[in-house]
Amino acid sequence: MTVLLETRNVSKSYGVFRALDQVSMAVNDGEFVSVVGPNGAGKTTLVNLLTGLLEPTSGEVLFMGRTIAGVGPVALADHGLARAFQLIQIFPQLTVRETIAAAVVSRQKKRWRCFARLSADMAIDARVVDVADIFGLGPRLDSVATALSQGEKKLLDVASAFALDPQVILLDEPTSGVSTSDKHGIMKTLIAAAKRAGVRAIVLVEHDMDLVAAYSGRIIALSEGQVLADLPPDRFFADPHLIETVIGRRKGH
């Protein structure tokens, strides 16, 4: 198996507080890996290390065999790892077309620099339409992001990440704030889009155990900054102690 994303003995301290302690994990080609844990487990810190927002106090963070500690999400997207950020909260008045286009342009600026302006604009718009269609947002291209339903807003967040052409995508609670009836629809759309786009692995950070059970190929559980378990779903959910630890303090990170 090809390892795409990994941490090796990673620790992260804030003064005397150690948010992560000797965490080693790996995401392989073709995997859907969920990261779970109770409040204060270290999930957010781990996500920020994996996406280059933080540097570890010790240990290594590697993507495709290359050190990515602290490189930042923009440089990391150029390498092929994207995180779904809530862009519509940052740019609420942009249309769906403009939001996706911003991601396309940031990813393709080098490739299209030598194009004629009209050709570049046509190429960008074609890519925007393609991404929007993958996520069922084609009819909403000219709608302002704030006018979308909560489920559509979540899809737009992830569509913007997909527009970066990632090999690995990291989803941090992509269905939070969405009604229970819509959550599985969104997840199925994300997984189908990932396959269509050639995404090689998905990392999901999630507290909704129904979603974790339904879609994970492997589950990594954190507790108090350490890896408590790294198991396939059947073995994970067969352990009452694990379930109690993970769900016991369910809210937050």
pLDDT by residue (tens digit) across 192-251?
999 888 899 999 999 899 999 999 999 999 999 999 999 999 999 999 988 988 886 443
The pLDDT score that the predictor gives to residue 119 is: 58
Q: Domain for residue 58, yes or no?
A: yes
* Exposed e or buried b per residue across 8-31, where buried means at least 16 C-beta atoms within 10 angstroms of its C-beta: eebbbeeeeebbbbebebbbbeeb
Domain that holds residue 20: 1-72+201-253
Using a pLDDT cut of 90, give the percent of the chain over it: 54
The pLDDT score that the predictor gives to residue 251 is: 39
Lowest-pLDDT choice from 73-87, 108-122, 135-149, 163-177: 108-122
Beta strands 168-172 and 81-83, pairing class:
parallel
- Average pLDDT of the segment spanning 88-110: 79
Q: What's the rounded Cα separation, in Å, for the pair 231 and 76?
A: 28
Using a pLDDT cut of 70, give the percent of the chain over it: 90
Q: Domain for residue 57, yes or no?
A: yes
Q: Domain for residue 242, yes or no?
A: yes
Mean pLDDT value across the chain: 87
Q: What's the rounded Cα separation, in Å, for the pair 227 and 43?
A: 10
The pLDDT score that the predictor gives to residue 233 is: 96
Q: What's the rounded Cα separation, in Å, for the pair 115 and 57?
A: 43
Q: What's the rounded Cα separation, in Å, for the pair 221 and 83?
A: 20
Does residue 110 surpass a pLDDT of 50?
no
Element (DSSP H or E) covering residue 32? strand 32-36
Q: How many helices (H) and strands (E) does the chain have?
A: 10, 10
The pLDDT score that the predictor gives to residue 163 is: 87
Q: What's the rounded Cα separation, in Å, for the pair 1 and 38?
A: 30
CATH of the domain at 218: 3.40.50.300
Helix (H, G, I), strand (E, B) or coil at 72: coil
Q: What's the rounded Cα separation, in Å, for the pair 88 and 146?
A: 7
The pLDDT score that the predictor gives to residue 106 is: 75
Q: Domain for residue 172, yes or no?
A: no
The pLDDT score that the predictor gives to residue 69 is: 87
Secondary-structure breakdown of the chain: helix, strand, coil percentages, each rounded to the nearest 5: 45, 25, 30
Q: Domain for residue 46, yes or no?
A: yes
Q: Domain for residue 56, yes or no?
A: yes
What letter would DSSP give residue 242?
A: H
Reported as a single tens digit per residue, the pLDDT across 5-39 is 999 999 999 999 999 999 999 999 999 999 999 88
Q: Domain for residue 237, yes or no?
A: yes
The pLDDT score that the predictor gives to residue 28 is: 96
How many domains does the chain contain in total?
Answer: 1
- Average pLDDT of the segment spanning 178-185: 88
| pTM (predicted TM-score) | 0.88
- Average pLDDT of the segment spanning 53-75: 90
Instruction: Identify the bridge partners of residue 171 per DSSP, sorted by sequence position.
Output: 204
The pLDDT score that the predictor gives to residue 220 is: 96
Q: What's the rounded Cα separation, in Å, for the pair 120 and 122?
A: 5
Report the candidate in 183, 218, 190, 157 with the shortest Cα–Cα distance to residue 29.
218
Q: Domain for residue 14, yes or no?
A: yes
